[in-house]
Structure 1
Amino acid sequence: MNICMAGIDHNHATIDVRELFAFTQKNKLTFLAQLNKMDGIQGCIILSTCNRMELWASVKDDFKGSLYEILCQVKEIAPKQYRGYFCELRGKEAVNHLFHLACGLKSQIMGEDQIVTQVGEALSFARENQFSDSILEVLFRKAVTAGKKVKTEVIFPKGNESSINQAIHKLKSQRLVIRNKNCMVIGNGQMGKIAAQAFVEAGANVFVTIRQYRHGCVEIPKDCMGISYSDREEYLPICDYIVSATTSPHQTVTKCMLEKYQPGRSQILIDLAVPRDIDMQVVQIEGITLMNIDDFKTSEQDAAMKIAVDKAEKILKVQIEEFYQWLGGHKVMPRIQYIKEEAVNDLNLRIEKSLKSCSLEDAEKLNLIQTISKAADKVVNKMIFSLRDDLREEEFISCIDSWEQLYEES
């Protein structure tokens, strides 16, 4: 069994390239269903955010395929064209990458805490649709646990900021006024809510588009005004800032929409989606500025950030070791089960011989053997796992080898 990952992120590719490999919920479901049926694939997960797309799989040891090439085949893209933008990892490199990722150490904004939620949601999606296996299940769960532990114990300078916070900092650095200005946020998902709240805190009057879902439950961010998604065009002329953060496969703002009126002033459009929501041709209209998520990069680490990263690394080291302890036990579980069964059977045979001369009824003998069997199973189980916890891995495997040999020879 091995763990593989093929991914692309903001460090290696611009948004123009990343959006070619992005997934909506619908096509993610279709692709994972295809991948999960392939020979050698035991389980699979897709992590698709605005800054990255990663394809994860647990595979058999003899799996020789390339997740990147499988991805290109489904996306109908020539592999040679974009191979340089991708990173393919296996085994320990893949595991280390996921733990660091879940802690925000590989994020565009160092230490941001949205990513741990996104990793958890990727696992939940795969689990609900029966694509994950036990290896990926535990790997992602432990990575999320590590991310939460780092979030609790480590304070990153500006670590809780999101891309929209960075956007607002950039706007203010350009001496653009936000307070009392009108802002429309298109999209009421997690990213949309964060964007709306950020502009509210900056003093803007915020309108948030909402859709009417079947369950009828729509949550509008605090101090924001909800408007129908279908009415968004009516609000374009009065808004100074327009933010779009949806997972829609369709454009939310087009050049044609903006050309219907003459704004007479500058407007800032911020596209936080991947694939992008806003028609890139809007920049051809005078007074329109379009920004995307790649425009908000953080500077190099300062001394405070390096201290925070070092502290996070120490936490990660322990968490990763715990995963490998579990994985080591998982791999030998069939062998442990075999040893337990043989040990209990051995004990039962010896007891049965002794019971032949006893005056107990057959039913009483059977009940006694069953009781002893259950007790023996617990004793052997405790012995084996106590040794696993106390011995080095190679010493424990040596014990397993000896026990197996003992019962194979008997």
Structure 2
Amino acid sequence: MKIQMIGMDHSLAPVEIRERFSFTTAGAEAAMKTVCATPGVEGCILLSTCNRTELWVSAKGPVALPGILCGLKGVDPADYREYLVCREEGEAVAYLFALASGLRSMILGEDQILAQVKDALSRAREAQCCGGTLEVLFRHAVTGAKRVKSQLLLSTANASAAELAIDRMWKEGYDFTGKRCLVIGNGEMGKRSASALLERGAQVTVTVRQYRSGRVEVLPGCSRIDYGQRYQCLPQCDVVVSATSSPNVTIRVEELKACGLGHDVLFLDFAVPRDIDPEAAQLPHVTLYNIDQFSVPPSQELERQVRRAEELLCQEQARFEAWEACRDLIPRVDALGTYLAGEVDFRIRDVVKELVKPGRDVRDNAGAEALRQCLSAMEQVTRDG
């Protein structure tokens, strides 16, 4: 099977382009099933995060991936050619191993991408879309990433984009102490944002949605309001962070204008698609940043660790390539096993017949002589075997 991928990430496309190619969980499942219906495609996996969208395919031959990915979004591939990259075979395999380890992330060495790769594999498996080749490839990539995480301490590991952005602003002189902060979103990114703000002395309120399953918990130290009350809360805020996985805008420019902000408010949008209407940046008292405006340059020590990580990944990649090279032998081994099983069955049939008579004697008479004959026959079979 030929391994191919197409994708865009933070290094190729700005957030306004990436958000057009983002997929919800349900949308990703439907998209994978559509791709798997393409003639010649064995399996596919769709990875969609804040910083990247990637479509992975295993097929009997080349597949027109730009047309397929853009077709899923109803756009013309020619309009997005500069933002897309295609990789195949060895190049694609090496890229996936580095990606799962955080070596291709905006925040070098971050951990979230490993969980996202695992989740993408799980979704494809549940949708019965991943196929055998990609199943094994992604499992090897996850194993390689775990080796890197367990043997190396990457200096920016375990930090999310939200945490590093808040940390950078603090280092540049923004004092969060006592600031009234609203965090929109109580998922993983929202919780990391709230935690980072709490550590710097902010007063944090988190929006939550009400679900039938019961009360939604927030981090200790945070206040909570219903998501529907967010606009009423804005005039009292100094900082607003929005970090949801929703495809819908959480802060609209018209509603924000109606709030009548009377002081400067810092808005941080860490979502893709973006949560906050970009036009909000034109309003008085609004300073708006998105996820693309924060990056952390790697240190020399981190670069040394990256080289060591690449060595570890090469070892795991070699294991996958060995499996792939031997994959064509599996049908031949299965066929040989079936043949040998038939041969064994044929050859022992006559021996079993010889055992039947003394066995019946044992059953019917249970005498010492019959038992002796039965044991002698069994011993003969053992010696002949």
TM class by shorter-chain length? 0.7 to 0.9
Separation of aligned partners in 1, 2:152 and 2:230: 41
Letter in 1 for 2:355: L
How far off its partner does 1:209 sit? 1.0
2:267 paired with 1:273: no
- Offset, 1:101: 0.3
Q: CA offsets, 1:73-122, max 9 Å, x none?
A: 22121111111211111112111111100100000010011100111111
Per-residue deviation, 1:205:
1.1
Q: Provide closer, same or farther for how the CA distance between residues 80 and 362 of structure 1 changes in structure 2, counting only shifts above 3 A.
A: farther
Distance 2:212 2:144 in 1: 36
User: What are the Cα deviations for residues 10-50 of structure 1, in whole angstroms up to 9, with x where unaligned?
Assistant: 11111121111111223222212211222111111111111
Task: Name the residue aligned to 1:188.
Answer: 186
Query: How far has the Cα of 1:362 moved from its partner?
Result: 8.4
Q: State whether residues 100 and 145 of structure 2, in contact with CA within 8 Å, keep that contact through their aligned partners in structure 1.
A: yes
Secondary structure class of the residue paired with 2:355 = coil
Contact between 1:210 and 1:229, CA under 8 Å: does it hold in 2?
Answer: yes
State the shift of 1:217 in Å: 5.1
Amino acid at match of 1:11: S
Q: CA deviation at 1:272?
A: 1.0
TM-score, scaled relative to structure 2: 0.88
Q: Where does residue 295 of structure 2 map in the other structure? A: 297
Give the drift of 1:159.
Answer: 2.3
For structure 2, list consecutive stretches of 5 or more residues without a partner in the other structure.
360-385
Residue identity in the other structure for 2:7: G
Quick one: distance in 1 between partners of 2:296 and 2:268? 17
The answer for unaligned runs of 5 or more in structure 1 is 365-410
* 2:254 aligned with 1:256: yes
Shift, 1:149, TM fit: 2.1
List, as ranges, runs of 4+ consecutive aligned residues in structure 1 with deviation greater than 3 Å: 328-331, 346-356
Query: Could you tell me which of 307, 312, 316 is aligned with 1:315?
Result: 312
Pairing of 1:317-336 with structure 2 (within 5 A): 317-336=314-333
Same amino acid, percent of matched pairs: 41
How far, CA to CA, are the matches of 1:118 and 1:231 in structure 2? 31
SS class of match (1:361): helix
CA distance in 2, matches of 1:180, 1:189: 24
Structure 1 residues 89 and 363: CA distance shift in structure 2, 3 A: farther
Q: Deviations over 1:230-256 (max 9, x none)?
A: 111111111111111112222101122
1:303-362 Cα distance to aligned partner (Å, 9 max, x none): 201221122112211211222233334332111111222233334444446667xx3228
Local SS of the residue matching 1:145 = helix
Cα distance in 2 for partners of 1:292, 1:73 equals 28
Please state how far the C-alpha of 1:211 moved relative to its aligned partner. 0.9
CA contact (8 A) 1:102 1:116 kept: yes
Q: 2:232 matched to which residue of 1?
A: 234
| Contact kept? 2:2, 2:62, Cα under 8 Å | no
Q: Counterpart of 1:57 in structure 2: which amino acid?
A: V
What is the deviation of 1:173?
A: 3.6
Counterparts of residues 1-400 of structure 1 (less than 5 Å): 1-60=1-60, 63-216=61-214, 218-299=216-297, 301-352=298-349, 359-361=354-356
The superposition leaves residues 347-398 of structure 1 with CA deviations (integer Å, 9 ceiling, x where unpaired) of: 4444446667xx322898xxxxxxxxxxxxxxxxxxxxxxxxxxxxxxxxxx
CA change 1:257–1:326 in 2 (3 A) is: same
Distance 1:166 1:363 in 2: 82
Name the residue aligned to 2:365: none
Q: Which has the larger radius of gyration?
A: 2
Q: Is the 1:197–1:222 contact (alpha carbons within 8 Å) kept by the matching residues of 2?
A: no
Q: Give the corresponding residue for 1:398.
A: none
Query: By how many angstroms is 1:283 displaced?
Result: 1.1
Give the aligned partner of residue 378 of structure 2: none
Q: How many angstroms does 1:153 deviate by? A: 1.3
- Report the Cα offset of residue 282 of structure 1: 0.8
Q: Cα–Cα, structure 1 residues 249 and 306, in superposed 2: closer, same or farther, change >3 Å? A: closer
**Rounded Cα–Cα distance in structure 2 between residues aligned with 1:290 and 1:363:** 92
Distance 2:264 2:79 in 1: 38
Cα pair 2:231 2:259 within 8 Å, conserved:
no
Deviations 1:118-163 (A, max 9, x none): 1111111122222222222222222222222211211112222211
Distance in 2 (alpha carbons) for counterparts of 1:59 and 1:247 = 31
Q: Distance in 1 between matches of 2:85 and 2:358?
A: 64
Q: How many angstroms apart in 2 are the aligned matches of 1:26 and 1:202?
A: 37
